[in-house]
Amino acid sequence: MKRSLSEAKEFIRECVILAEEGDDTLLDIRSHFRYRMRMRGLFWADVVTVLTDPARVEDRGWDDEQRQQFWLHGEVPNIGEIRIVCSIDWDTRLITLNWDEP
């Protein structure tokens, strides 16, 4: 079932906060995401800021695994704008993080 942008923003925010509190079952952070995060000089705190308070959110339809996909945009000091791809499995309450690569 397709959800609204506001539902997605709140869901992502809640999952990130719970993950920060120690629940590691809500976020699937791909190795490519971690690798690119290091390459870009980003810290996890930068990513959390964009995930919990994005400047803009786009509904990007469905990914290859039929999960609803959103792009979260935000500004990071000394880096500029970043765009994080979040695929949400609403049933299992799992968010997969990745980068949108050109």
pLDDT tens profile 6-30: 999 999 999 899 888 998 888 888 8
Instruction: Summarize pLDDT for 34-74 with one digit per residue, the tens.
Output: 898 998 889 999 999 999 999 999 999 999 999 999 999 99
Q: Which amino acid is at 70?
A: F
Residue 17, domain CATH: 3.30.2310.40
Handedness of CA 28, 94, 100, 8 (dihedral sign): negative
Does the predicted TM-score (pTM) go above 0.75? Answer: yes
C-alpha dihedral, 33 to 36 to 41 to 45, nearest 10°: -10
Domain of 50? 5-99
Q: How many other C-beta atoms are found inside a 10 Å radius of the C-beta of residue 101?
A: 8
What was the pLDDT predicted at 100? 66
How many domains is the chain partitioned into structurally? 1
Given a contact cutoff of 8 angstroms between Cβ atoms, the answer to whether 58 and 70 are in contact is yes
